Amino acid sequence: MSTLRVEGLTVRAESLELVREVSFTIAPGERVGLIGESGSGKSLTALSLMGLLPEAVTASGTARLGDRDLVGVPENRVKDLRGRDVSMVFQEPMTALNPLMRVGAQVAEVMTLHGTPRHEARERAVAMLERVRLPEPGQVARAYPHQLSGGQRQRVMLAIALANGPGLLICDEPTTALDVTVQKQMLELIAEVAPALLFITHDLAVVASVCERVLVMYGGRVVESGPIREVFTRPRHRYTEGLLAASKLTPRGTRLPTVQGSVPSAGQFPDGCVFRNRCPHATPTCETAPALTGDGHAFACWHPAD
Ligand SMILES: Nc1ncnc2c1ncn2[C@@H]1O[C@H](COP(=O)(O)OP(=O)(O)OP(=O)(O)O)[C@@H](O)[C@H]1O
How much is the pLDDT for 15? 87
Helical (H) or strand (E) element with 246? helix 238-246
For a ligand 1 pocket test, name from 44, 200, 201, 216 the mutation site with the most ligand atoms within 8 angstroms of its C-beta: 44
Three-state SS at 154: helix
- Say if residue 258 is in the same domain as residue 164: no
> 16-26 and 197-200: which strand pairing?
unpaired
Three-state SS at 72: coil
Query: For residues 22 and 172, what is the distance between their CA atoms, to the nearest angstrom?
Result: 18
- Say if residue 152 is in the same domain as residue 8: yes
Contact 138, 146 (CB under 8 A): no
- Say if residue 178 is in the same domain as residue 132: yes
Instruction: Name the residue at shortest CA distance from atom 9 of ligand 1.
Output: 44
Number of domains comprising the chain: 2
- Say if residue 37 is in the same domain as residue 103: yes
Query: For residues 89 and 169, what is the distance between their CA atoms, to the nearest angstrom?
Result: 8
- Say if residue 150 is in the same domain as residue 209: yes
- Say if residue 62 is in the same domain as residue 189: yes
Q: Please tell me the chain's helix, strand, coil percentages from 3-state DSSP, rounded to the nearest 5.
A: 35, 30, 40
- Say if residue 227 is in the same domain as residue 259: no
Contact 26, 32 (CB under 8 A): yes
Give pTM, 2 decimals: 0.81
Distance from the alpha carbon of residue 94 to the mean position of ligand 1, in angstroms = 22
How much is the pLDDT for 145? 94
Domain end marker among 227, 246, 265: 246
DSSP string, 186-243: HHHHHHHH-SSEEEE-S-HHHHHHH-SEEEEEETTEEEEEEEHHHHHHS--SHHHHHH
Distance from the alpha carbon of residue 53 to the mean position of ligand 1, in angstroms = 10
Q: Which atom number of ligand 1 is nearest to the Cα of residue 40?
A: 21
How much is the pLDDT for 249? 59
Q: Which residues line ligand 1 (CB under 6 A)?
A: 13, 18, 36, 38-44, 54, 57
Domain end marker among 246, 269, 297: 246
Closest CA to 233 of 276, 271, 280, 189: 280
Kindly list the strands in the beta sheet with 68-69, ordered across the sheet, starting from the edge strand earlier in the chain.
Answer: 16-26, 4-13, 57-65, 68-69
Q: What is the CATH number of the domain that holds 48?
A: 3.40.50.300
Domain that holds residue 253: 248-306
Contact 22, 54 (CB under 8 A): no
Instruction: Name the residue at shortest CA distance from atom 28 of ligand 1.
Output: 39
> 57-65 and 31-36: which strand pairing?
unpaired
Distance from the alpha carbon of residue 298 to the mean position of ligand 1, in angstroms = 38
- Say if residue 214 is in the same domain as residue 156: yes
Distance from the alpha carbon of residue 20 to the mean position of ligand 1, in angstroms = 13
Query: For residues 231 and 214, what is the distance between their CA atoms, to the nearest angstrom?
Result: 8
What is the ipTM, given to two decimal places? 0.96
How much is the pLDDT for 286? 31
Print burial letters for 175-186: b (CB count within 10 Å at least 16), e (below 16): bebbeeebbeeb
Average pLDDT for runs of 10 along the chain of length 306 = 93 94 96 93 95 92 93 85 89 83 96 93 96 95 95 94 94 87 88 94 86 94 92 84 70 36 44 43 31 30 35
- Say if residue 222 is in the same domain as residue 269: no
Q: Which atom number of ligand 1 is nearest to the Cα of residue 202?
A: 25
How much is the pLDDT for 204? 84
- Say if residue 238 is in the same domain as residue 298: no
- Say if residue 293 is in the same domain as residue 205: no
- Say if residue 27 is in the same domain as residue 87: yes
